[in-house]
Amino acid sequence: YFVPEDGDSELHPNVFLAPQSSRPGGTPLLGQVKEAFPLPGTYHFRFKSPLFPGADRDNSSMAVWMDCVDDSQPVASWKNSIIAKVTRVGVDDDDEDDDDDDDFEGHFADTTAHSDPGATSAPVDPNFGLFDEPVAAS
């Protein structure tokens, strides 16, 4: 498998042990692949497949990426291998209790109330924003 968003490429894929198919001589189901997938999170899977069934035995065959969305669907194979292009859809939150966010209210003070009234701000560069002004008509 490879995750293009992580800088992976098909030329240097990652590998994990795919589960055995529940059907003799077939490929595993998408649900089985998802369950065995080693990275945490939610992913969308595309599998490399021949354009025409069985054509991957020919050296000049054309490959396509087939989206697989049904967990009960067998995944496609290419030249007797399963090659997946995987897109991260979401990251799992290990913390099951999302109500903890309320515990942080009030822990962050309003910093504007504590500013020093006698302090001066840093000098502003006169060229800052120079090109943001409209050109005056001559």
Residues in the chain: 138
DSSP secondary structure, 79-120, as one string: TTB--EEEEEEE---S-S-GGGGGGGTTSS--GGGG--TTPP
Tokens 């098909």, located at residue:
10
Look up the pTM and report it.
0.63
CB 61 within 8 A of CB 19: no
Backbone angles phi, psi at 47, to 5 degrees: -120, 140
Cα 43 from Cα 64, distance rounded (Å):
19
| Chain segment 47-93, per-residue pLDDT in tens | 999 988 888 887 778 999 999 999 999 999 999 899 999 999 998 76
3-state secondary structure of 134: coil
Average pLDDT over residues 92-116: 49
